[in-house]
Chains A and B, each alone.
Chain A
Amino acid sequence: MDILLALLSINLRTALAMRAAFLLRLAFTVFNHGFILLIWLFLFRAVPVVYGWTVWHLLMTYGLAWFAWGFVSYFAYGFKMLPRIIENGELDHFLLQPRPLLMMIAAASGEVAGIPDMMLALPVIVTAAVKIHAAWYLVLFALICATATFTAFSLAIGSLAFWVNDMQDWLLDMQYNLYIFATRPASAFGGWIKMLMFTLLPMGFISYLPVEIMRLRDPWLALEEGAGTVVIAALALIIFRRGLRHYESGNRFGVRV
Chain B
Amino acid sequence: MGATLRLYAALAGFSFRNHLGSWRYIMSRLGAYIFFTIIIGEFWRAIIAQGTRHFPFGIDDIIWYCGVGQLIVFASPRIFMRIEDDVLSGNIAYHLTRPVDYLELRLAEGVGGLAANLLLFMPLGFALCYFYTGAMPRGSIGYTALFIIFASLLHMMFQILAGFSGVWIHEVQMPYRIYQKFMLMLGGLEVPVSVYPAVMQYLAWATPLGLLLMLPCTAIFTPDTGQQAREAILMFGWVGVIFALMLMLYGRVRKYISLNGG
Contact = CB atoms under 8 A, between A and B. Distances in A.
A32 B24 CA distance: 28
A50 interface: yes
B25 A28 contact: no
Interface stretch (B46-54, B101-109, B137-145): B46-54
Contacts of A31: 178, 181
The dominant DSSP class at the A interface is helix
Contact of B184 (A36, A169, A181): A36
B39 interface: yes
B234 interface: no
B50 A42 contact: no
B186 to A, nearest CB: 10
Interface stretch (A60-68, A124-132, A186-194): A186-194
A83 B155 CA distance: 30
B227 interface: no
Given A177-B32, A189-B42, A193-B39, A46 B195 contact: yes
Nearest to B174: A28
Contacts of A49: 52
Given A47-B52, A50-B47, A39 B174 contact: no
Contacts of A45: 197
B178 A39 contact: no
Contact of A47 (B38, B53, B184, B188): B53
A189 B42 CA distance: 7
Interface string B16-53: 00000000110011001001101100110011001011
Interface residues of A, number: 32
A24 B28 CA distance: 32
Q: Which one of A39, A40, A184 has the highest number of Cβ atoms from chain B below 10 Å of its Cβ?
A: A39
A76 B180 CA distance: 27
A43 B48 CA distance: 12
Interface residues of B, number: 31
A50 B49 CA distance: 11
Contacts of B200: 42
Interface string A147-178: 00000000000000000001001100100010
Contacts of A202: none
B181 A32 contact: yes
Nearest to A187: B46
A160 to B, nearest CB: 12
Nearest to A188: B46
A43 B174 contact: no
B178 A28 contact: yes
A229 B181 CA distance: 32
Given A170-B24, A173-B32, A184 B178 contact: no
A212 to B, nearest CB: 16
Given A42-B200, A181-B39, A193-B39, A51 B46 contact: yes
A31 B35 CA distance: 26
A255 interface: no
A217 to B, nearest CB: 24
A46 B47 CA distance: 11
B196 interface: yes
Q: Which one of B52, B188, B189 has the highest number of Cβ atoms from chain A below 10 Å of its Cβ?
A: B52
Contacts of B189: 39
A38 interface: yes
A141 interface: no
B191 interface: yes
A35 interface: yes
A189 B43 contact: yes
A4 to B, nearest CB: 29
A185 interface: yes
Given A166-B24, A184-B39, A40 B174 contact: no
A193 B42 contact: yes
Interface of A: 24, 28, 31-32, 35-36, 38-40, 42-43, 45-51, 166, 169-170, 173, 177, 180-181, 184-185, 188-191, 193
Given A32-B181, A35-B184, A46-B53, 16 more contacts: A32-B177, A32-B178, A39-B191, A42-B200, A47-B53, A49-B52, A51-B50, A170-B28, A177-B35, A185-B43, A188-B42, A188-B43, A188-B47, A189-B46, A190-B42, A193-B42
